[in-house]
Amino acid sequence: MKIFDSELKVLKVLWEEEEIRASQVCKILEEKIHWNRNTTYTVIKKCIEKGYVERIEPHFVCKVLISRKDVQKQSISDMIGRLFEGSSSEFLKTFLEQGNYSEQEVEEFKKIVNESK
* 57 and 80 in a common domain: no
Other Cβ atoms within 10 Å of 65 Cβ, number: 15
Query: Closest Cα partner for 52 from 108, 94, 95, 9?
Result: 9
* 48 and 18 in a common domain: yes
| 57: phi then psi, degrees, rounded to nearest 5 | -105, 155
Q: Read off the pLDDT of residues 60-115 as tens digits, 9 standing for 90 and up.
A: 999 999 999 999 999 999 999 999 999 999 998 999 898 889 999 989 999 998 99
Q: Which domain range does residue 48 map to?
A: 5-64
* pLDDT value of position 2: 85
* 87 and 47 in a common domain: no
* pLDDT value of position 100: 87
Q: Read off the pLDDT of residues 17-33 as tens digits, 9 standing for 90 and up.
A: 989 999 999 999 999 99
* pLDDT value of position 32: 96
* pLDDT value of position 66: 96
**HSE-CB for 100 with a 13 A CA cutoff:** 0
Q: Confidence class of residue 1 from pLDDT cuts 50, 70 and 90?
A: confident
Coil, strand or helix at 86: coil
The total number of structural domains that make up the chain: 2
Q: Read off the pLDDT of residues 37-60 as tens digits, 9 standing for 90 and up.
A: 999 999 999 999 999 999 999 999
Whether the Cβ atoms of residue 32 and residue 39 lie closer than 8 Å to each other: no
* 72 and 55 in a common domain: no
